[in-house]
Structure 1
């Protein structure tokens, strides 16, 4: 099997659990032979490097460095998990200030060292805001920066599979939109279970309304459940989904789930949020989600919540007021 491309892929935070899993997933998928591991913590990164060599991958050109200039030089694709992890009792929003400062530096480094990068995937939380800050300071086009939002949709499918005892491919149309956080909008109106609309099942003995509400809440709290079960935030699922995202942009299989993308339209403006997206070699494009009146109201509420956090970043002097963004990034 040939590699998808020979372009350089940089994994930021490669010494951590998510980053190291991304490295292995990218090599297993044979995305590119040229994978660079970047982390400020050398021992962890060097340990990952050794592990990858011990796996016996053929024809790869692995490099590792703690020097951001060296790591980003000639980079064409970047996935960054380089933020502080979520811990027990924390929401994604609790990471706002610290991780958005890291995102500011990430964007500035992209602009300085690899302005010709093709695509960047940001996955450290709160991803909607860290992705937005990265995009602003990188100078890239909105289509070139996406964030990981898929886990909410995959968790919805997972909960429904467990509830009805069916295989994953028998549950279709699972989508959550808006923010990747406590205010996400869970859409059920397009879901089908073995071809039957979920809307015809909700409110019956098979899925009483209160059980559906609990299931939706379990989806929202899916990340917290992982912390409860494993003692730390999830790493395998974000690593896999983010590598699938970059694979789609590299020319691989289409990405099946929503991505977080920069939105500026008549209804929602100057925000990063999960939309009905398409990821391909042209980058990311989106359509507005379609749903019931209740679902669209939930999406409106999610947008309002994201705007509140964005405005907090202005107060913290991490980003300027929206009307000045174009001075930093003419693409916005």
Structure 2
């Protein structure tokens, strides 16, 4: 049986809808035969493990535990959806304190039980902040952790395909950067629509008002799923996060932006969506350049994330920036 690796992959929050879908996706993509499912809620977790076994995947070793030490010991890869889900009427930021506390404990557990982990993907909201908190407490190199941000770009792809009534495959290089939330920066300058630059279509074949409305649909894409289904997204974040882990295992390149720790001339001490590549060496990013308006939106998104970061500092969940190196010597 061919797998991407034989190393241990841990799904944190595996009893939930995102986590259970991540487990199934990882098994279907044959990432590794060694998958451990972790969740503090044992009855539902055992149910997920049983369902995976009932699928009759060949050549796999599916284990489950509600003991975080047992789960993380020996883990080479970790993908976590282990926070509270967003409900109707909530923003991602409404989850800030509780999920930041969960992220802090996740980071401490990584440091204690799998400090040599090769890659961690953090999914639970607000992902930019929970990822940053996890990174600080885990003590791992920034290249070893990324967060799910691609969902905004795939929603942009979907909305453009519906608007122009063409296949989504004809929409190329869709990009949103900055925060995964209502302050995201939606870029037009990177996108090709059936081989034509989107920026050239706006104001001609796509009225400015339509572009504005489409951006709002992208920004509110998660809320729309909640309105339609009565619960937050789970299939799309599960699939995309597993593709990120697959890339970290040396598989196919991940072709959408990911959240990454950024410290540059423009953006400092923050985790945000950038133009990234994920490989066995980890996640790397390059600076984003758009139009003047797009750059301004990205700067606004950075300011919003910085405010959330400072709120978490004020809560005592992470120390002030100048003290981060005490917990993680790899951070500037």
State the TM bucket, normalised to the shorter chain: over 0.9
Cα offsets for 1:41-78 (capped at 9, x unmatched): 01111111111111110000010000001000100000
CA distance in 1, matches of 2:200, 2:260: 32
For the pair 1:316 / 2:309, whether they are aligned, the reply is: no
| Alpha-carbon offset, residue 213 of structure 1 | 0.2
C-alpha displacement of 1:135: 0.1
Matched, 1:222 2:221: yes
CA distance in 1, matches of 2:51, 2:173: 38
TM-score scaled to structure 2, two decimals? 0.99
TM norm structure 1: 0.99
Within 2, Cα distance between the matches of 1:182 and 1:240? 22
Shift in Å, 1:191: 1.1
Q: Name 2:288's counterpart in structure 1.
A: 289
CA distance in 1, matches of 2:225, 2:82: 20
Residues 148-205 of structure 1, C-alpha deviations (whole Å, 9 max, x = no match): 000000000000000011111211120000000010000001211111111121112x
Q: Where does the alignment leave 5 or more consecutive residues of structure 1 unmatched?
A: none
What is the DSSP-based 3-state SS (H/G/I as helix, E as strand, rest coil) of the residue aligned with 2:45? helix
Counterpart-to-counterpart distance in 1, 2:138 and 2:190: 36
Q: Secondary structure at the match of 2:217?
A: helix
Where does residue 25 of structure 2 map in the other structure?
25
Of 189-198 and 141-150, deviating more is 189-198
Matching residue of 1:211: 210
2 CA distance for matches of 1:250 and 1:198? 33
Whole-Å separation in 2 of the counterparts to 1:190 and 1:109 = 39
> Where does 1:110-189 land on structure 2 (aligned, <5 Å)?
110-189=110-189
Query: Cα distance, 1:145 vs. partner?
Result: 0.6
User: 1:227-276, CA deviations, whole angstroms, 9 ceiling, x for partnerless residues?
Assistant: 00000000000000000000000010000100000000111011000000
Q: Is residue 12 from structure 1 mapped to residue 12 from structure 2 by the alignment?
A: yes
The 3-state SS of whatever aligns with 1:20 is: helix
Q: Secondary structure at the match of 2:247?
A: helix
In 2, the alpha carbon distance for the partners of 1:79 and 1:277 equals 18
How much does 1:310 deviate?
Answer: 0.4
**Distance in 1 between residues matched to 2:199 and 2:128, nearest whole Å:** 29
Q: How does 1:242-253 map to 2 (within 5 A)?
A: 242-253=241-252
CA separation in 2, counterparts of 1:47 and 1:202?
A: 49
Unaligned runs of 5+ in 2: none
Aligned partner of residue 275 in structure 1, secondary structure: strand
Q: Does 1:37 align with 2:60?
A: no
CA-based RMSD of the aligned residues comes to 0.6
CA distance in 2, matches of 1:272, 1:198: 28
Q: Describe how 1:44-83 pairs up with structure 2 within 5 A.
A: 44-83=44-83
TM-fit CA distance, 1:93: 0.4
Partner in structure 2 of residue 236 of structure 1? 235
Matching residue of 2:299: 300
Q: Partners in 2 of 1:114 and 1:27 — Cα distance?
A: 22
CA distance in 1, matches of 2:32, 2:211: 42
Distance (whole Å) between structure 2 residues aligned to residue 235 and residue 220 of structure 1: 17
CA distance in 2: counterparts of 1:3 and 1:173, whole angstroms = 29
